Amino acid sequence: MKEIGTIRSLRGNNAEVEIKRNSACGDCGACHISKDQSVMLTTAKNSIKAKIGETVEVEMQFANVFVAAFIMYGIPLVAFILGSSMTYYLIGSLKLGWDQVLSSFFVGVCLTAISYLVIRHVDRRGRFNSKYQPIIVAVVDNDEKISTPMEKRMGN
């Protein structure tokens, strides 16, 4: 997946890139920006040593997009389902007198929150950043700025 953006700031080997929402972009919510916003900010590896203000091409492997989405949405969902179902059957088999449905729901919510905290902790230690972070692959000339890679593929 390739996008065109402008470097706003540099931090070590990384750059903060402002990417404009293109016309082919839907409203799936994957980028966490609303329809009203026209740009999003992302941190990308700056292996080509681009400078602030330059227009660059940012790339992220398509398979990594799905893995990153599974980490952020799939793992917490699995934690909720397992926590809820295991608590439901455990309370039923132990005959504790607690409300099975309400207790299992709250345990599922707690395990979901814990899974997000674990993901956040692992991400802050740098285990996800290097593998799933976008990479700046090229500086784009002014002539090439007119259309994004998605628009080029669509023939615009």
pLDDT at 143: 52
Looking at the fold, whether 54 and 72 belong to one and the same domain comes out as: no
Cα separation, 105 vs 107, in Å, equals 6
User: Taking Cα atoms as reference points, which of 142, 2, 140 lies closest to residue 58?
Assistant: 2
Q: Give the pLDDT mean for 93-100.
A: 87
Number of structural domains the chain divides into: 2
| Burial group, residue 28, by CB count within 10 angstroms (0-12, 13-18, 19+) | exposed
Burial class (CB in 10 A: 0-12, 13-18, 19+), 22: middle
Reported pTM: 0.58
21 with 38, same domain: the answer is yes
For the segment 33-59, the average pLDDT, to the nearest whole number, is 81
Write down the mean pLDDT value for the chain: 80
- Residue 120, pLDDT > 70, answer yes
Question: 42 forms bridges with which residues in the sheet?
Answer: 17
Amino acid at 149: P
Same domain, 105 and 49: no
For the CA atoms of 89, 94, 100, 103, what is the dihedral angle to 10 degrees? -100
Q: Are residues 121 and 76 in the same domain?
A: yes
For residues 76 and 110, state if they share a domain.
yes
Residues 93 and 146 in one domain: no
pLDDT at 29: 46
Tens-digit pLDDT profile for residues 139-156: 887 655 545 555 556 555
Look up the domain containing 91 and give its range.
64-129
